[in-house]
């Protein structure tokens, strides 16, 4: 009990010394506050960015292999032309080969895209028409807001039915209910049977149309728009022919995705030396993003750790100066019976108290970080218990290490020489 009281007295003495020099203590803690805040901010930004990237990739489906047609450079000698039209991308034969030669394919969905104009209720907008199959809703994880998606009956009977994205439905119909209404796509009338929330950018095609997308049965697409696209550029007409703009292979499991991608690449290379296609494997990209996130986390932690190290050097400097100016006080305490360990504990208490207070204030300053990141960068930072308490623990450790040398130096001062110190 007596030893506990003595230890408490030593700790209180150290804290009292800090309280006696408020400005110096506050300025010393400021470096720790900034260091902890930097670590919290860097970890929150990294976690938020990684989560956002993984979320967008997972929207594509970790069990999907997505193959897109890519327009080759016009100056490329390997670009094929048929009756003056540039022919590129994925052919119907490619789709059959992929479906027949890759094991573990659960669903194979084809997509054909056409840029045109949509007209309804006096509004005329540039849109991307996506001709596809009923199973597209499953591989693209479509969330319907109203109505239904394309059905097998629509495909079989080549119905002029369409599904709008929510953004396009609002732009064309405003507050009116679009279901059952008519929209003209490139002069052809289509009846709206459903409204979906949004398509993943990588599946919707992106482009200047943004979220203005219309989905129709691919059988109807071939009749209404065909596979030839004619565009006017710089005073002349340019024709392009693409059988299939996108093929989505939904696999039975993630291992089948990796095995299927390994087969698809050489299979397409054999028939497409001009490389007019691109294979996206979301699960591979997710793993790559995770590795990049770990690397960036290491880099940001290193940079932020340097700021804590600088704060530790500042604490050591202040503590050494404190030992010098309090030499006589140390001599008096030693002469009155204080042991070396008492002096050591006193100075260690001061150093650790500075970092504990600085660390707690740094945590308080870091709590609004996710909101600020959302305001400035457009995505929400993520604070985890680890991203909060890890920098605090490092700060306390830095304070402990920084205070060891000054504490030992103070404890080993000769009492007689210390009493003579002026």
Residues 191, 235: one domain?
A: yes
65 occurs within a structural domain:
no
- Of 219, 241, 275, the residue that ends a domain is 275
Q: Indicate the SS3 state at residue 167.
A: helix
- Going by C-alpha positions, the residue among 147, 149, 124 that lies closest to residue 139 is 149
Residues 326, 353: one domain?
A: yes
Residues 122, 31: one domain?
A: no
- Of 275, 305, 323, the residue that ends a domain is 275
Residues 323, 203: one domain?
A: no
Residues 339, 405: one domain?
A: yes
281 occurs within a structural domain:
no
Residues 110, 8: one domain?
A: no
282 occurs within a structural domain:
no
The distance in angstroms from the start CA to the end CA of the chain is 37
Task: Give the per-residue pLDDT at 75.
Answer: 45
Residues 175, 299: one domain?
A: no
66 occurs within a structural domain:
no
Residues 38, 177: one domain?
A: no
384 occurs within a structural domain:
yes
Cβ atoms of residues 276 and 72 within 8 Å = yes
With both helix axes pointing from N to C terminus, report the angle between 22-59 and 369-377 in degrees, rounded to the nearest 10.
Answer: 60
Residues 209, 334: one domain?
A: no
Residues 103, 191: one domain?
A: yes
26 occurs within a structural domain:
yes
Task: Give the per-residue pLDDT at 6.
Answer: 47
Task: Give the per-residue pLDDT at 146.
Answer: 93
- Of 275, 295, 325, the residue that ends a domain is 275
- Going by C-alpha positions, the residue among 65, 63, 90, 88 that lies closest to residue 262 is 65
Greatest Cα pair distance in the chain:
106
Cβ atoms of residues 60 and 202 within 8 Å = yes
Task: Give the per-residue pLDDT at 8.
Answer: 57
68: left (phi over 0), alpha (psi -120 to 50) or beta: beta
Residues 269, 363: one domain?
A: no
pLDDT means per 10 residues in the chain (422 residues)?
51 56 71 80 78 67 85 60 70 91 91 92 91 91 91 94 94 92 92 91 61 92 82 62 89 86 90 87 75 76 73 76 70 71 76 81 84 75 79 80 75 62 52
DSSP 376-408: HHSS-----HHHHHHHHHHHHHHHHHHHHHHHH
Residues 27, 173: one domain?
A: no
Distances (CA, A) of 58 to 130, 163, 200: 21, 23, 10
- State the residue range of the domain holding 119: 71-275
63 occurs within a structural domain:
no
* Span 341-365, pLDDT tens digits: 777 777 777 778 878 888 888 888 8
Number of structural domains (the chain) is 2
Check: pTM over 0.85? Answer yes or no: no
* Span 242-254, pLDDT tens digits: 889 999 998 888 7
62 occurs within a structural domain:
no
């Amino acid at each position: 009990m007596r030893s506990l009281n003595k230890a408490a007295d030593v700790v209180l003495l150290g804290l009292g010394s800090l309280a006696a020099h408020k400005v110096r203590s506050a300025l010393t803690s400021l470096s720790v506050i900034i260091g902890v805040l930097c670590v919290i901010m860097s970890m929150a930004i990294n976690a938020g960015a990684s989560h956002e990237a993984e979320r967008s990739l997972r929207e594509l489906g970790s069990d999907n292999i997505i193959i897109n047609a890519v327009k080759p450079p016009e100056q490329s000698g390997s670009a094929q032309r048929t009756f003056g039209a540039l022919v590129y991308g994925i052919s119907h034969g490619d789709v059959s080969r992929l479906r027949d030669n890759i094991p573990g394919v659960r669903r194979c969905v084809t997509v054909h895209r056409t840029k045109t104009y949509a007209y309804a209720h006096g509004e005329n907008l540039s849109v991307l028409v996506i001709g596809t199959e009923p199973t597209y809703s499953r591989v693209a994880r479509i969330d319907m807001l109203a109505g239904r998606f394309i059905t097998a009956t629509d495909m079989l009977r080549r119905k002029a039915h369409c599904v709008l994205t929510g953004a396009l439905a609002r732009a064309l119909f405003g507050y009116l209910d679009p279901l059952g209404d008519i929209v003209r796509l490139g002069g052809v009338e289509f009846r709206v049977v459903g409204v979906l929330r949004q398509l993943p950018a990588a599946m919707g095609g992106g482009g200047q149309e943004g979220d203005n997308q219309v989905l129709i049965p691919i059988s109807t697409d071939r009749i209404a728009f065909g596979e030839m696209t004619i565009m006017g550029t710089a005073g002349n007409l340019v024709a392009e022919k693409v059988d299939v703009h996108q093929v989505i292979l939904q696999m039975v499991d993630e291992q089948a995705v990796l095995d299927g991608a390994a087969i698809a690449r050489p299979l397409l290379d054999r028939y497409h030396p001009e490389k007019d296609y691109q294979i996206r494997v979301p699960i591979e990209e997710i793993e790559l993003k995770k590795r990049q996130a770990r690397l960036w986390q290491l880099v940001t932690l290193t940079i932020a750790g340097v700021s804590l190290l600088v704060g530790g050097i500042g604490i050591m400097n202040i503590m050494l100066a404190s030992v010098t100016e309090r030499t006589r006080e140390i001599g008096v305490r030693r002469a009155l019976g204080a042991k070396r360990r008492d002096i050591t504990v006193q100075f260690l208490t001061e150093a650790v108290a500075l970092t504990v207070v600085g660390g707690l204030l740094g945590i308080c300053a870091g709590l609004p970080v996710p909101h600020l990141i959302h305001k400035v960068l457009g995505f929400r930072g993520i604070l985890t218990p680890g991203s909060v308490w890890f920098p605090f623990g490092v700060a306390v450790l830095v304070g402990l290490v920084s205070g060891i040398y000054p504490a030992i130096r103070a404890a080993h001062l000769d009492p007689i020489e210390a009493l003579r110190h002026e």
